Amino acid sequence: MIEFVTVQRLAAHVGAPESDQWAADAVAAVNALLAGYPWLLDDDGQPDAAATTGALMLAGRLYRRKNSLSGVEALGDTGALYVARTDPDIARLLRIEQHATPKVG
């Protein structure tokens, strides 16, 4: 399987131990998901720079969700602050959602 992100890179990014099972699960999920996106690969079949950065950001986002499984990020003066449904930077880097490349049929 193509590796867009590694556990070592995610651990360094989020400050987690490399033996963290949640980090390993997040990396496996992101790599499996992005393997189905052929537009993220260059001519040699390797992830391009934008894809590897987007994969790292997505894995970091999934890793952080362990502390907010219900979607609540924090409680503030005005009530609960929720995790955003989407991240436009990740969508732009992975060319998904509103940033997807138009397909000619």
Q: CA-CA distances (angstroms) from residue 94 to 19, 56, 100?
A: 27, 11, 8
94 domain residue, yes or no: yes
Rounded to whole angstroms, the Cα distance separating 50 from 66 reads 25
Residue range(s) defining the domain that contains residue 84: 7-99
37 domain residue, yes or no: yes
* Residue 31: pLDDT over 90: yes
Query: What is the total count of domains within the chain?
Result: 1
Q: For 53-102, what is each residue's pLDDT tens digit?
A: 999 999 998 898 887 767 777 788 888 877 777 788 888 889 888 777 77
Q: How confident is the model at residue 105 (pLDDT cuts 50, 70, 90)?
A: low
Backbone angles phi, psi at 30, to 5 degrees: -65, -45
78 domain residue, yes or no: yes
30 domain residue, yes or no: yes
